[in-house]
Amino acid sequence: MASSGDERAAAVRVIGGWASHYAIRVYVALKLKGVEYEFLQEVVGNKSELLLKSNPVYKKIPVLLHHGKAIPESMIILQYIDEVWASNGPAILPADPYARAIQRFWAQYTDDKIAPASLVLRGVTNGGKDEAAAQVSNALQHLEEAFVKCSQGKPYFSGENIGFLDLVLGSHLGWLKAAAKIAGVRVLDEAKFPELTAWADRFYTHHAVKDVMPETDRLVEFNAYLIEVLKAKASN
């Protein structure tokens, strides 16, 4: 992975975007750890030199730059933050090995099942909207049960504080709300998912989250713009 090498740059920089749920995870994690960072906004459809140099394999956001060292992949970044700033605030992953594994499992499951379905509901990728909604619903059912087991009556999957799985699933909330509006479907149904609905409210209003979680209407607008950009690229 490339090195930035610019001595004048801030020690911690994040190549990301205000609308990217993967990037939002990183912003919240850094805020939780009290780490200052430079926010670098990627322009949709026009990848920066820095991004291409920092993540040559995938060319995707987010990328964390720490003293010039580039770390891509949001879940890898979260674990890096957890390890480097271990003495700052609560741990992102729990100490218990089994609990860590369970959080990693559900986090991977979340991105596996919810991320692609969300893109279909948003109309960014092709697919059946009903099937996508069902896939999200099925995933949320599993996660509702997981929440009860993991939280043990506490506010978050990780207990008292926001942790790894909270960050991974929580970061999807903004787009899930927008996707529901765009596709005209119910996603986080309070009747079906009472625990997750209550957890989502707590997550949204958490001090580390509320400033970086975009408004639904802003996301809906951005989604329309994104689709236009993708269409233009496809026809070129």
Minimum CB distance to another protein smaller for 77 or for 169 = 77
- Closest approach of another protein to the CB of residue 229, in Å: 24
Applying CB under 8 A, the residues found at the interface with another protein are: 1, 57, 66, 69, 71-73, 76-77, 79-80, 83-84, 97-98, 100-102, 104-105, 108-109, 142
Minimum CB distance to another protein smaller for 63 or for 162 = 63
- Closest approach of another protein to the CB of residue 221, in Å: 31
- Closest approach of another protein to the CB of residue 120, in Å: 20
Report how far residue 104's alpha carbon sits from residue 86's, in angstroms, rounded to the nearest whole number.
Answer: 18
Minimum CB distance to another protein smaller for 82 or for 166 = 82
Report how far residue 17's alpha carbon sits from residue 42's, in angstroms, rounded to the nearest whole number.
Answer: 6
Minimum CB distance to another protein smaller for 104 or for 202 = 104
Minimum CB distance to another protein smaller for 57 or for 191 = 57
Whole-angstrom CA distances from 173 to 50, 65, 115, 216 are 29, 26, 11, 10
Over 180-230, what HEC string results? Answer: HHHHCCCCCCCCCCHHHHHHHHHHHHCCCCCCCCCCHHHHHHHHHHHHHHH
- Closest approach of another protein to the CB of residue 86, in Å: 9
Minimum CB distance to another protein smaller for 83 or for 221 = 83
Whole-angstrom CA distances from 38 to 2, 15, 63, 193 are 18, 9, 12, 37
DSSP type of residue 50: H
- Closest approach of another protein to the CB of residue 72, in Å: 7
Minimum CB distance to another protein smaller for 101 or for 148 = 101
CA angle 186, 29, 110 (to 5 degrees): 35
Report how far residue 160's alpha carbon sits from residue 27's, in angstroms, rounded to the nearest whole number.
Answer: 20
Report how far residue 67's alpha carbon sits from residue 36's, in angstroms, rounded to the nearest whole number.
Answer: 13
| Chain length of the chain | 236
- Closest approach of another protein to the CB of residue 100, in Å: 6
- Closest approach of another protein to the CB of residue 97, in Å: 4
Q: How many CB atoms lie within 10 A of CB 115?
A: 14
Beta-bridge mates of residue 159: 156
